Amino acid sequence: MPHHSRLSTLVIDCNVDDLRPALEFWSAALGKPIADPDEDGDGRYGVLATEEDEPLILLQKVAHESRVHLDIESDDVDAEADRLERLGARKIAFVKRWWVMEAPTGHRFCVVRPQRERFGRHLNAWD
């Protein structure tokens, strides 16, 4: 049975004590208003407003160095992680509901569940 995936989210990892100044900076820099300054109520995630056909922009408070990573959303997280592993990526860890992966280039990224109700037109189908 085929599964589907697409680019979902640009995640701005911020090694900061308070995410609010980072949200304010990236909101102004990208011209995107803050949609939710505290997505999960724990001060770790904030979201900038994007259009339906744009990737989501998530700011995340982290303990590692600041960087940017991508999230790929899929209707079958395990099948997508397995497919990417066959392409040369490496599974790093399963966290809550998603896979942290590492590309052959050393870049970290995540495979996550669908992040918007409508999966959208930029959808890939994989066997």
Q: What is the pLDDT of residues 106-120, one digit of tens each?
A: 899 999 999 877 666
Q: Residue ranges of the domains in the chain?
A: 3-115
Condensed to tens digits (0 to 9), the pLDDT of residues 16-43 reads: 999 999 999 999 989 999 999 999 999 9
| CATH number belonging to domain 3-115 | 3.10.180.10
Q: Measure Cα distances from 18 to 7, 15, 40, 51 in Å.
A: 28, 9, 15, 26
Condensed to tens digits (0 to 9), the pLDDT of residues 54-97 reads: 899 999 999 999 999 999 999 999 999 999 999 999 999 999 89
Mean pLDDT of 50-54: 86
Q: What b/e string do you get for 33-71 counting C-beta neighbours within 10 Å, with b at 16 or more?
A: ebbebeeeeeeebbbbebeeeebbbbbbbbeeeeeebbb
Confidence class for position 121, pLDDT limits 50, 70, 90: low
C-beta separation of 83 from 111 below 8 A: no
CA angle 96, 99, 101 (to 5 degrees): 145
pLDDT of residue 81: 97
Confidence class for position 14, pLDDT limits 50, 70, 90: very high
- pTM of the predicted protein model: 0.80
